[in-house]
Amino acid sequence: MPTPLEGTGIDGIPEPILGAGTTFVPLANVSQALGGYAHYDHESKIANIELGDYQLAVQADNPEVNISGQLVTLQAAPFIDQDVMWVPVRLFQTLGYDMNVDGDQVTLKSA
């Protein structure tokens, strides 16, 4: 099932993962679907994202995210699974997106 973004299902984005009471989404896929750019450095395990006015540095296994020079602590650490970085969907809420989670469906909309 596609993950809805901006109220429309986007094919090719894996379904969210629920773990430890947190819903995780694939960082690069969602960022790109929202119009951003993503670059991942395999050696440092850091993803650099440009999304709207924001620049993010997200490191696997580290709950602290640098958002345009300000450290924000996520409720759970991002992780890598099958070469994809997964982040709590609430990261996008921090960036001003409205979020709705209903079972395995996540909807993100510009606020």
pLDDT tens digits, 96-106: 888 777 766 77
Per-residue pLDDT averaged across 5-27, rounded? Answer: 75
Query: Which residues make beta-bridge pairs with 87?
Result: 25
* Nearest residue to 50 (alpha-carbon basis) of 32, 62, 65, 24: 32
DSSP 7: T
The model's pTM: 0.85
Query: What Cα–Cα distance (Å) separates residue 60 from each residue in 5, 46, 66, 69, 77?
Result: 23, 7, 13, 18, 7
**Secondary-structure percent of the chain, ordered helix, strand, coil, rounded to 5:** 10, 55, 35
Cα–Cα distance, 105 to 64 (Å, whole number):
25
Q: What is the pLDDT of residue 110?
A: 75
Q: pLDDT tens, 33-72?
A: 888 999 999 999 999 999 999 999 999 999 999 999 999 9
